[in-house]
Amino acid sequence: MRRNIVAGNWKMNTTVPEGVQLAKEVCEAVSAAQGLKCDVIVGVPFTHLTAVREVIDIEKVGLAAQNCADHVSGAYTGEVSAAMVASTGANYVILGHSERRGYYNETPEMLKTKVDLALENGLKVIFCCGESLEEREAGKVEDVIKAEISESLFHLTAEQWANIVIAYEPIWAIGTGKTATSDQAEEVHAFIRGLVAEKFGDEIAGDTTILYGGSCKPSNAAELFAKPDIDGGLIGGASLKAGDFMGIVTAF
């Protein structure tokens, strides 16, 4: 049975005290909520991981880093390894976000290495993919998604695949207020599940969690999450206020 997930991606927002406060509020709200139909994760800056881990109940709220290095250890000034992330008590890492691909030139090959290192260190991976507006208008959505997923993930074994969550995030919908319609999102989610089925079979595809990301908010989450292949969301802007985030968490 696949799990529904709502994961916050705080990006480069909040100081450590602000982040600790936000994580506390989310954890308290999740603990108080009855009958939640999804797992909840917060994706925080590296600097916040240890402090946030101390104030959350990891059984109730998962903890994700937003990146990790594509090297094991050594002379890579400013980088943070998958082992370091795992040593904070975090249990997830977000990889391949379009902001990392676009602003920091992360390639499918680098992401493949990051995925391997994350899994070797016991982290689950939230792997992002998504097309630009230009690619959508040129009719290339499926080609882009297929390349992003297959080049960085299809070397994995079925056993490893159990630790992968996919997040479909059309770049044109991120932080723009322009959500994909639920039908547009469902079309791509179904395509992704089909790709996974071709590679790993129907059962594993059926168990794979596929999140939608891009201007998801309390007012549109329920419609998105009602679609058969949309299993939750990766939430940027609306994850920075516990009330908004919980409005999405309770949208199932």
Q: Binding of ligand PGA at residue 215 (CB under 6 A)?
A: yes
Residue 212: φ, ψ to 5°: -105, 140
Of these residues, 97, 99, 131, 148, which one is catalytic? 97
Q: Which is nearer to ligand PGA, 106 or 169 (CB)?
A: 169
Four-residue CA torsion sign, 118, 120, 123, 126? positive
Residue 199: which residues within 8 A CB-CB, separation 6 or more? 150, 154
Closest separation between CB of residue 145 and ligand PGA, Å?
16
Active site residue 169: yes
Identify the residue among 216, 224, 230, 246 touching ligand PGA (CB under 6 A).
Answer: 216
Helix axes 182-200, 218-225, angle to 10 degrees: 50
Closest separation between CB of residue 103 and ligand PGA, Å?
12
Q: Binding of ligand PGA at residue 209 (CB under 6 A)?
A: no
Closest CA to 251 of 229, 225, 230: 225
238: tokens are 């609306």
Active site residue 223: no
Asked if 93 and 65 count as a contact pair (C-beta separation under 8 A), the reply is yes
Q: Binding of ligand PGA at residue 214 (CB under 6 A)?
A: yes
Residue 165: φ, ψ to 5°: -115, 135
- Which one of the spans 25-33, 107-115, 135-143, 230-238 is the region binding ligand PGA (CB under 6 A)? 230-238
Binding letters toward ligand PGA, positions 161-180, x by CB under 6 A: --------x----xx-----
Q: Give catalytic residue positions.
A: 97, 169
User: For binding to ligand PGA (CB under 6 A), which residues are involved?
Assistant: 9, 169, 174-175, 213-216, 234-238
